[in-house]
Amino acid sequence: MTTLTAAERVRTRASWLATHAAIATVLTLAPGVVYYYVADEFVGVLLGLLLAALALASLVASLVGGFVANARKRAQMEAKPIANVSKVARERGRD
């Protein structure tokens, strides 16, 4: 098993959560719509919309988490000062 950095773990979890939140959104809306057509009651649709709103909130939270993790990863990659370059690598550049 590979070792993941903290940012990679957050991105992986955010991606997993976003996928499952999208699936949950569809799965919560479908029974409410079917119930509406069968029973002609809007209560099932409202319950489905409530659950879908929760799933969409989870989706938004996971997407924001993934975006923040990507931004942190980019900031870490760009923040490496030139002093971190080894002496051997600097001497190779002079040849």
pTM for the whole thing? 0.50
Q: If the chain, 95 residues long, is cut into consecutive pieces of 10 residues, what is the mean pLDDT of each piece? A: 70 77 78 77 76 78 77 67 57 57
Residue 1 domain-assigned (yes or no): no
pLDDT of residue 29: 76
Q: Report how many domains make up the chain.
A: 1
pLDDT of residue 16: 80
Report the C-alpha gap between 24 and 39 in whole angstroms.
Answer: 23
Around Cβ 34, how many Cβ atoms within 10 Å? 13
pLDDT of residue 22: 77
Range of the domain at 46: 6-94
Cβ proximity of 13 and 72 under 8 Å: no
Q: Which stretch of DSSP H or E encloses residue 88?
A: helix 87-94
